[in-house]
């Protein structure tokens, strides 16, 4: 089996794994507030699948870089079997989630996430099939550690279960993790690309992806701050940020 065919098989296998996981989660009971609305029920299961992906991928990425810290010094050419498999696994999730959003008729409400997923899939595919920037892909997946707590936040809001102490604790943990595992790795990637990566071919393509992702991350960060720490400001901007409804202001 050729390397490209093997990679395609791993991505398809990951996609099918997340599809099977989603079906399995249908056996779990739903909170009463979620159960009454089909859209909320879909979102609940979608978020549970996202939570599993974040836990597995985030810890996998951190462990992979911790075991081979030299990857941080050459994110263009350094690679590992673990990193290659991680990119295949995560690409499969983003393919699954994109299809889930489209098939479920949530494309309009979740268009920003479809754009993000398209960027992630294309970036991971370039690393998987061209064999370069695998370490950059691993570092970008540090964000999934932050997503663990962001997803917990969204599940708490969606379930409408009164748990103010848990929400407050998670709110501050979420903020710390956003800095450590989302903003800091993204800042390092941006600095590295600007300083060392030649702006042509794959490097140019990934740099454009990176700058677009920078803008999205800062936008989501401002929404998170308005929603959790400056709610009065969030209400004033409610009409401008309709795109945040799916995951940040329900």
pLDDT at position 240: 43
The predicted pLDDT at position 235 comes to 57
List per-residue pLDDT tens for the chain, 250 residues long.
577 889 999 999 999 999 999 999 999 999 988 998 999 999 999 999 999 999 999 999 999 999 999 999 999 999 999 999 999 999 999 999 999 999 999 999 999 999 999 999 999 999 999 999 999 999 999 999 999 999 999 999 998 877 789 999 999 999 999 999 999 999 999 999 999 999 999 999 999 999 999 999 999 999 999 999 888 765 555 544 433 344 443 3
Q: Structure pTM?
A: 0.91
Q: Where are the domains of the chain?
A: 3-244
Q: Provide the pLDDT for residue 231.
A: 80
Computed on alpha carbons and rounded to an integer, the radius of gyration of the chain in Å comes to 18
Which pLDDT value is given to residue 242? Answer: 37
Burial of 124 (0-12, 13-18, 19+ CB in 10 A): buried
């Amino acid at each position: 089996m050729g390397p490209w065919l093997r990679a395609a098989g791993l991505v398809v296998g990951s996609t099918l794994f997340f599809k099977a996981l989603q079906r399995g989660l249908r056996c779990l009971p739903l909170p009463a507030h979620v159960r009454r609305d089909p859209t909320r029920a879909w979102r609940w299961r979608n978020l549970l699948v996202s939570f599993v992906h974040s836990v597995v991928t985030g810890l996998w990425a951190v462990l992979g870089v911790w075991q081979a810290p030299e990857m941080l010094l050459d994110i263009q050419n350094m690679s590992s079997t673990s990193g290659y498999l991680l990119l295949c696994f995560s690409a499969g999730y983003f393919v699954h989630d994109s299809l889930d959003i489209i098939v479920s008729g949530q494309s309009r409400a979740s268009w920003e996430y479809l754009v993000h997923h398209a960027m992630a899939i294309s970036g991971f595919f370039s690393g998987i099939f061209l064999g370069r920037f695998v370490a950059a892909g691993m570092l970008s997946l540090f964000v999934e550690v932050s997503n663990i707590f962001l997803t917990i936040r969204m599940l708490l809001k969606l379930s409408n279960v009164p748990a103010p102490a848990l929400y407050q604790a998670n709110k501050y943990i979420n903020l710390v993790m956003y800095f450590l595992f989302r903003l800091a790795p993204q800042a390092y990637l941006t600095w590295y690309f600007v300083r060392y990566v030649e702006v042509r071919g794959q490097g140019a393509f990934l740099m454009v992806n990176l700058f677009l992702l920078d803008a999205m991350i800062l936008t989501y960060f401002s929404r998170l701050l308005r929603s959790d720490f400056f709610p009065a400001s969030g209400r004033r901007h409610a009409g401008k940020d309709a795109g945040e409804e799916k995951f940040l202001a329900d």
